[in-house]
Amino acid sequence: MLTSAIYVAVSIWCCMLSVVVTGQYFLKIVVLLLL
C-alpha cells in the first residue's frame, strides 16, 4: 500500500513538473511570436 502511494505521489509530481516546464516554454514561444 505504501509503495503504491509513493508511486502515485511521484507520478503526480512528475506530471505537475512537466506541465510547469511546458508552460514556461509555451510562454517563451508566445512572447517571441508577439515580439
Q: What is the pLDDT of residues 5-30, one digit of tens each?
A: 999 999 999 999 999 999 999 999 99
What helix, strand, coil percent values describe the chain, rounded to 5? 95, 0, 5
**Cell numbers that stand for 16 in this block:** 505537475
pLDDT above 90 for 2: no
Predicted local confidence at residue 35, as pLDDT: 86
4 pLDDT tier (thresholds 50, 70, 90): very high
Helices within 1-35 (DSSP H only): 2-34
1: confidence class by pLDDT, cuts 50, 70, 90 = confident
Query: Is the CA virtual torsion 27, 28, 34, 35 positive or negative?
Result: positive
- Look at the pTM and tell me if it is higher than 0.85: no
